[in-house]
Amino acid sequence: MSTSSIFSPELATLYKENNVKGIEEYVTSCIDDNGGLQSERFVRLNPRFCKDETLNLLKKEVASVFASSTDDLVKEMKMPMLKGLDFFSIPGKFSLQKSKIYTEGRIYGQDLSSGAAVAALSIDQKCALSNEPFKALDLCCCPGVKFCAIADLIEGMRKASTIEGFSGDVVMGVDIDPQRLYVCKKIVKKYHFDSLLASGSDCKMNDCDRNVRLMLYNSDGANFSVQNRGELFFDTVAEKEELKSCKTGNNRKRMNKSARARERKRLKALEKSENLKYNQDSNQDGFFDRVLVDAECSTDGSIKHLLERMKKKNDKDVGPNEKLSTKILSSNKSGNLDELHKLQRNLIVAGFQNLRKDGVMVYSTCSLSRYQNEEIVRHLLETFTNAFIIPFQSNDVEGFDGHAFLSDWNTIRFTFGKFGGFFLAKIGKR
């Protein structure tokens, strides 16, 4: 079967230019005779619930769908790089939308490569040694699963620390699109508030009044700074105040018109106080200890998107002569990739400018294109003499069944296998 049989000419050319082989065979092998997905999918446990209890519930749900031992169907992902994130693989045909524990917020649906981007930030016990609040920035935060994972790691780091009663840690998320931010806000509320308040769990859970503050800003990431943050879209401080004002027992009132007005009022008041704080605290050396730039890309490495489109094609929702492509590549606009490349360069520069000295930044995409990955990193290194690559080590790619390998400057590339195509670069600041 030739590559052109299922891929658009633009997508086939991208794969050829980047020496990507075997992807067509892999994509077609993941669709069964009924159009279902045969590949694995991955979930991450919400650390606000008891791990053993959530895992037992997950195994029961999987066992109720598949007539097989759950030991073969629910497997812990023990890659050294993902330590502390509690990832598990489950069958690709298991529907998260029909899962009770997913609806309750006990598990996240998240790809391993996505988790690796967060893990690469190196939020560990060394970070807890400082007496200063820990500050992280997710410059392209939507839809929000990685944003939540950053908060989870910081909370885990503080929980394991010998310093008690520490507070002041913050994670800021940025996106230019209010609709995407609304989705992100729903995800944060689901996993950090709603799931705990609605739970009838007998297992002891962590208090929902967490120390890590989560803030979402409606702003252009390419121009973001603490002095130019844009509109404060969501703040866990405002959410906690709303809970205290309207919670009766364990039930939350629906967010009606008056509740939304109260939220807007609280956000404006908080933003006013934050303006004074950040104008005093910020400096030219950057503000954040950790920065994640999971940049917008052509998504050609996202096997999940390709499989979903393939399934639609099998279900005849896609025209019989239409080839598989991605949103960026299928557009008729000329120079689309060049515009995307420019945006990626601006995002990585903005991320680096927001990084403090001795901090860590991760640049990632779900593209297999060197033009969107290594060339973007090269641009940063040539622009800033105080930027340098923090090389990944061989043990960072252990356990990924050969689908992850070290690339230029010891960055990491995930091939298109079950983990999805992905690129990671870890960058420091002198």
DSSP 367-378: ---GGGTHHHHH
Query: Which residues constitute the domain of residue 174?
Result: 1-430
Q: By C-alpha distance, which of 215, 134, 213, 135 is closest to 174?
A: 215
Which pLDDT value is given to residue 167?
73
Which pLDDT value is given to residue 249?
44
CA distance 199 to 245: 20
Which pLDDT value is given to residue 120?
97
Which pLDDT value is given to residue 347?
98
3-state SS, residue 332: coil
Which pLDDT value is given to residue 333?
55
Beta bridge partners of 225: 228
Q: Which secondary-structure segment (H or E) carries 104? A: none
Which pLDDT value is given to residue 419?
82
Alpha helices in 137-249 (DSSP H): 145-159, 178-189, 195-198, 236-246
Q: By C-alpha distance, which of 294, 292, 295, 297 is closest to 354?
A: 292
CA distance 353 to 291: 10
3-state SS, residue 50: coil
Low-confidence ranges of the chain (pLDDT < 70): 1-5, 32-38, 69, 162-166, 195-210, 246-258, 275-284, 310-322, 330-335
CATH of the domain at 179: 3.40.50.150
Which pLDDT value is given to residue 202?
44
Q: Which secondary-structure segment (H or E) carries 294? A: strand 288-294
- If one counts the domains in the chain, the total is 1
CA distance 391 to 397: 12
Beta bridge partners of 216: 173, 234
